[in-house]
Amino acid sequence: MPTHRFAMQHCAAEWSHASGKAYADPGNEIELDVVITDPAGQARRVPAYWAGDHEWRVRYAPPATGRYTFRTVCSDAGNAALHAQEGTLEVGPYTGSNPLLKHGPVHVAPDRRHFQHADGTPFLWLGDTWWMGLCQRLHWPDEFQWLTADRVAKGFNVIHLVAGLYPDMPAFDPRGFNEAGHPWQPEYARLNPAYFDMADLRLQWLVRAGLMPAVVGCWGYHLPWLGLDRMKQHWRNLIARWSAYPVTWIMAGEATMPYYLAEDKPAAAATQRQGWTELARYVRELDPAGHPLTLHPSDTARNTVTDPTVMDYDMLQTGHGGAGSIPNTVQRVTASLAAEPVMPVVNGEVCYEGILEGSREEIQRFMFWSNMLVGARGFTYGANGIWQVNRGDAPYGPSPHGASWGDRPWDEAARLPGSRQLGIARQLLERYPWWSFESHPEWLDPHATPDTDPGGNYAAGIPGEVRVLYFHQPLAPWRGLPVVKELETDGAYRAFWFDPRTGAEHALPEVQGHRGDWQVPMPPTMADWVLVLERCR
């Protein structure tokens, strides 16, 4: 008998189908899909997930209002309770204020350079790294919800989480368990639905708070352990459970990095590179929502696959050496922006705050401002202590290689100043059409160069409208002050210093552009500063 259901646009609708036929191993023996046809007549095939026992559940976020119809398709066509079941879905408009639901999920914009919501609203990616945030060491609900609220208040809009198959540990390490255990039963015999039920609560909470989950399927070296078929099953389950939410997919973390103790690392890296390319194609074909897809690399995502067209955006990892990582970071970002095919660039891991007893807040500011003014359209912060969820009463301990990344508790790491300062930076950029910014080294003398002076000054903006300049090295009168070049000669600019530590503004006299050049005045203190020039109307 047909069933009738109701939903709101962009919101996950969920319903279940129970098998009338018993199976010895239902999660492995059959698959269930639901073909959903939208009001315009376009059909999408949505995978259902095995919920345990003889139940399958469907989640779907309708992209438009109107009446939808659906029909189930079971791999066992003789199971009348699962196969050829029909129904309708009536979809009304979303009436809340959550930006991920009001504007719709995030996709790559037509210019292939930045991200935007389904309705075209630009999306400036500011991520935070919680690699092991789905494990029970970050207690649910109190600690997880506290950290969520803290990140929302500071201005983050993306959270990176690994779906249970973590870095820095061997297979089935209890440090990675949540309240229901491991994502898989021992020996990878079958998925553990109870694990994902607990993960659902956390992921749904992020979405409810307006944070987009950047779902990392696993760490790359888990692929040889599961094998290609089991990894496809793992990813099918993730898509079935979470593609109805406004997520982005990161196929694997450090996708081509072999396990720390692997005997033949070159062979393992080559196998993983080929495997993740195939799996990325599989996910692109299976995901009914077409969420953006990339891989987290050891350098650049382009190098983790044999065909970069399987990705929608390039993600980078550029080092954890503090100031020593500046040259590689600037060079990698610049090279990625110039590479083909064109795609948005996100620095997904660089210099976690406090890692190796370094990379303090001034490094966080430099990495954000230099990357964004060169042309990146996203940046992900990390704090050493959060990603592995250190606890004061239970430090994470050593990695498989024998060394420990540190014992700062996660809640102390959450209060490091860099996280707040990057939120302040995002707020400033979002005053302007940041997605149209271009790097303009000719606007500033001296300006940084990727090869000879990557730690220098940066300039970007829109000619005739706005210029944003970042001065990394403290300005001092005895060194000579930089010069802003090529100001439009037919107008004037409102100018102010912006304190990247506090967000305070310090107004400057109006800048007349008739001479073309303007010497930068001393900022309030000798530190790094942002200078903004807004064209007067």
Query: 204 pLDDT band (50/70/90 cuts)?
Result: very high
* All CATH 2.60.40.10 domain ranges in the chain, comma separated: 3-92
**Is residue 489 scored above 90 in pLDDT?**
no
Residue pair 382/349 in contact (Cβ under 8 Å)? The answer is yes
Query: What's the average model confidence in pLDDT over 19-30?
Result: 96
Query: What's the average model confidence in pLDDT over 21-48?
Result: 97
d(CA 516, CA 486): 5
Q: What percent of the chain has pLDDT over 70?
A: 100
Query: 1 pLDDT band (50/70/90 cuts)?
Result: very low
d(CA 270, CA 257): 9
**Is residue 513 scored above 70 in pLDDT?**
yes
Residues in a beta bridge with 15: 58
Residues in a beta bridge with 497: 506, 531
Query: What's the average model confidence in pLDDT over 99-121?
Result: 98
**Is residue 491 scored above 70 in pLDDT?**
yes
> Could you tell me which CATH class the domain 106-432 is placed in?
alpha beta
Q: Indicate the helix (H) or strand (E) that contains 207.
A: helix 193-208
Q: How many CB atoms lie within 10 A of CB 90?
A: 14
Residue pair 521/480 in contact (Cβ under 8 Å)? The answer is no
Give the C-alpha distances (Å, rounded to integers) separating 70 from 3, 33, 34, 86, 238. 9, 10, 6, 6, 21
Residue pair 530/369 in contact (Cβ under 8 Å)? The answer is yes
Query: 2 pLDDT band (50/70/90 cuts)?
Result: low
CATH of 438-535 among 1.10.520, 3.30.2310, 2.60.40, 1.20.120: 2.60.40
**Is residue 146 scored above 50 in pLDDT?**
yes
* All CATH 3.20.20.80 domain ranges in the chain, comma separated: 106-432
d(CA 319, CA 298): 9
Taken as a whole, the chain contains a residue count of 537
Query: 479 pLDDT band (50/70/90 cuts)?
Result: confident
Question: What does pLDDT average to over the chain?
Answer: 97
pLDDT tens per residue, range 319-331:
999 999 999 999 9
Query: What's the average model confidence in pLDDT over 445-463?
Result: 96
Residue pair 40/88 in contact (Cβ under 8 Å)? The answer is no
**pTM here?**
0.97
Q: Tell me which CATH homologous superfamily contains domain 3-92.
A: Immunoglobulins (2.60.40.10)
Q: What percent of the chain has pLDDT over 90?
A: 97
